Amino acid sequence: MSQAKHHNSLPALQSLLGFSVRDDCWFIEALPLAQLAAQFGTPLYVYSKRALVAAFAAYEEACFNAQGKRRARIFFAVKANSNLAVMNCFKELGAGFDLVSGGELERALAIGADPASLVFAGVGKSAAEIRLALTVGVKCFNVESVAELEQINQIAAELSCRAPISLRVNPDVDAQTHPYISTGLKDNKFGIAYHETLKTYREAALLSHLDIVGIDCHIGSQITSTAPYLDALDKVLDLVTQLKKEGIKLRHLDLGGGLGIDYGDESSPAITEFTNALLDRIAERGFANLEILLEPGRSLVGNAGVLLTRVEYIKLGASKNFCIVDAAMNDLLRPALYSAYHAIVAVQNNEAETQIYDVVGPVCESGDWLGKDRALAIKANDVLAILSTGAYGFTMASNYNTRPRAAEVMVDGNQAYIIRERETVAELLSKERLLPQKK
Ligand code: LLP
């Protein structure tokens, strides 16, 4: 995930479905990106509906075996992109949702998602969030500690209902990804320690208002090989075998999300290769009867979106050239937080000379950069597209430096729809109050 050495490697074209380059102009479906920047202003997130649909279709297809039998079901990880229009596209295609907060749950309810298609995960669910999830009747709580089990049991008792639960196992495998997005090592805060899982299931079985329905694990994000998944799966299936012997029968196995995407120099396994490896292993080990849940986020939306930004100033220096743009770390945090690489392109060809630039934002921090050492032929006022920003782009945006968050647009063929209006400074200030005047 680290900043690539090369000056500008692009994701492979087949990873950029929905985007094309004609006569040096970048298009999203039938519309030029330059036109969208002019029409809606910058910074602007733009998503291709076609790319979302294609990514979902690839997963859906991979969920069926050669005989046409469904082997797995997709629960989109909303944290990757929680825009209501994006969620609604996936709902219409048949997805369920993986949620990690009461806010995400309210989003799912706002688009009319079936509560039976919702799994509620997260290491620190509050009592209010648990109450809401129980009241609407989610499919399952993915539980991460004994204390949380007790809390859910107590709230279910108060509401005179039963809570469907699954334990999130921490399988202690190394997903070989960035340490901030690796979650399945024993030093991570996530899940129940592997050697304590059986004991915790026994404790859960004794609690009066819980129904044990599944088991789950998630080992990290942006994982570009199937090997760590298979290691984790084998360990989880060992537990399922043991639980069965003890009379604790599970209905489902949730394998989490995490398949990586191509940001420029990664080659992730194809979705079918990835799902076949996992689903075949499950069948080989005699668990084909388990319902399998997958929770992809990044691989459904990451390469379906770009962030458009306009060049404010070109600043040529003795040791570095800076391209100062109107997007910043508050719009796209991934470079500042993880040193993540995102390809950056000029959306239109122009006569400028190619130079090597650091692409930086206006925020008052040296960490506010979007790309380093990029070869670009640009001048002030040009529009750049920061690629592969459909996942963990807008959802991680903030108002740092009192910067209103960007607008979001979805393109479907030759139509562009505003799916989130640009925030205004007035909206930001409206939440704040002065202290009363002292007499
Ligand atoms: N399921 C669980 C339990 C998760 O924790 C996550 C992501 C997913 C599914 C979806 O994983 P995906 O398919 O998107 O890799 N902000 C970071 C990524 C954090 C991922 C957290 N968990 C980034 O920008 O790279």
Q: Is residue 4 one of the residues assigned to a domain?
A: no
**Atom of ligand 1 at shortest distance to CA of 299?**
13
Q: What is the CATH number of the domain that holds 363?
A: 2.40.37.10
Question: Does the structure show a pLDDT above 50 at 4?
Answer: no
> What pLDDT does residue 3 have?
47
3-state secondary structure string across the chain: CCCCCCCCCCCCHHHCCCEEEECCEEEECCEEHHHHHHHHCCCEEEEEHHHHHHHHHHHHHHCECCCCCECCEEEEEHHHCCCHHHHHHHHHHCCEEEECCHHHHHHHHHCCCCHHHEEECCCCCCHHHHHHHHHHCCCEEEECCHHHHHHHHHHHHHCCCCEEEEEEEECCCCCCCCHHHECCCCCCCCCEEHHHHHHHHHHHHHCCCEEEEEEECCCECCECCCHHHHHHHHHHHHHHHHHHHCCCCCCEEECCCCECCCCCCCCCCCHHHHHHHHHHHHHHCCCCCCEEEECCCHHHHHHHEEEEEEEEEEEECCCCEEEEECCCCCCCCHHHHHCCCCCEEECCCCCCCEEEEEEECCCCCCCCEEEEEEEEECCCCCEEEECCCCCCCHHHCCCHHHCCCCEEEEEECCEEEEEECCCCHHHHHCCCCCCCCCC
Same domain, 332 and 377: yes
Same domain, 276 and 380: no
Same domain, 288 and 306: no
Same domain, 363 and 328: yes
121 Cβ closer than 6 Å to some ligand 1 atom: yes
Last residue of a domain, one of 254, 269, 300: 300
Q: Is residue 437 one of the residues assigned to a domain?
A: no
Q: 416-435 pLDDT, tens per residue?
A: 999 999 999 999 999 999 99
Mean pLDDT of 163-168: 98
Residue 224 Cα, ligand 1 centroid: separation in angstroms? Answer: 13
Residue 296 Cα, ligand 1 centroid: separation in angstroms? Answer: 8
182 Cβ closer than 6 Å to some ligand 1 atom: no
Same domain, 230 and 378: no
> What pLDDT does residue 29 have?
98
> What pLDDT does residue 190 have?
82
Question: Does the structure show a pLDDT above 50 at 1?
Answer: no
Q: Is residue 7 one of the residues assigned to a domain?
A: no
221 Cβ closer than 6 Å to some ligand 1 atom: yes
The residue nearest atom 15 of ligand 1, judged by CA position, is 258
Same domain, 342 and 280: no
Residue 13 Cα, ligand 1 centroid: separation in angstroms? Answer: 24
Q: Is residue 439 one of the residues assigned to a domain?
A: no
Q: 104-130 pLDDT, tens per residue?
A: 999 999 999 999 999 999 999 999 999
Same domain, 54 and 195: yes
Last residue of a domain, one of 300, 315, 346: 300
Residue 352 Cα, ligand 1 centroid: separation in angstroms? Answer: 39
> What pLDDT does residue 83 have?
99
Same domain, 228 and 371: no
- Among candidate residues 25, 140, 161, 364, the one labeled active-site is 364
Q: 201-258 pLDDT, tens per residue?
A: 999 999 999 999 999 999 999 999 999 999 999 999 999 999 999 999 999 999 999 9
Q: Is residue 1 one of the residues assigned to a domain?
A: no
Mean pLDDT of 2-6: 48
Last residue of a domain, one of 266, 300, 334: 300
How distant is the alpha carbon of residue 415 from its chain centre?
Answer: 25
Does pTM top 0.75 for this prediction? yes
335 Cβ closer than 6 Å to some ligand 1 atom: no
Same domain, 293 and 319: no
What is the domain count for the chain?
Answer: 2
Residue 298 Cα, ligand 1 centroid: separation in angstroms? Answer: 7
Q: Is residue 3 one of the residues assigned to a domain?
A: no
Q: What is the CATH number of the domain that holds 172?
A: 3.20.20.10
Residue 256 Cα, ligand 1 centroid: separation in angstroms? Answer: 9
User: Which residue among 166, 185, 298, 337 is best mutated to probe the pocket of ligand 1, counting the most ligand atoms within 8 A of its Cβ?
Assistant: 298
Domain range for 100: 49-300
Q: How confident is the model at residue 181 (pLDDT cuts 50, 70, 90)?
A: low
Same domain, 318 and 341: yes
Same domain, 101 and 131: yes
408 Cβ closer than 6 Å to some ligand 1 atom: no
256 Cβ closer than 6 Å to some ligand 1 atom: yes
Residue 91 Cα, ligand 1 centroid: separation in angstroms? Answer: 19
Q: Is residue 360 one of the residues assigned to a domain?
A: yes
Higher pLDDT, 13 or 26: 26
334 Cβ closer than 6 Å to some ligand 1 atom: yes
Is 364 marked active-site?
Answer: yes
Q: What is d(CA 250, CA 236) in angstroms, rounded to the nearest whole number? A: 12
Tokens 């989003």, residue? 107
Q: Is residue 210 one of the residues assigned to a domain?
A: yes
98 Cβ closer than 6 Å to some ligand 1 atom: yes
Q: How confident is the model at residue 291 (pLDDT cuts 50, 70, 90)?
A: very high
The residue nearest atom 5 of ligand 1, judged by CA position, is 218
User: Which residue among 74, 86, 221, 329 is best mutated to probe the pocket of ligand 1, counting the most ligand atoms within 8 A of its Cβ?
Assistant: 221
Same domain, 111 and 259: yes
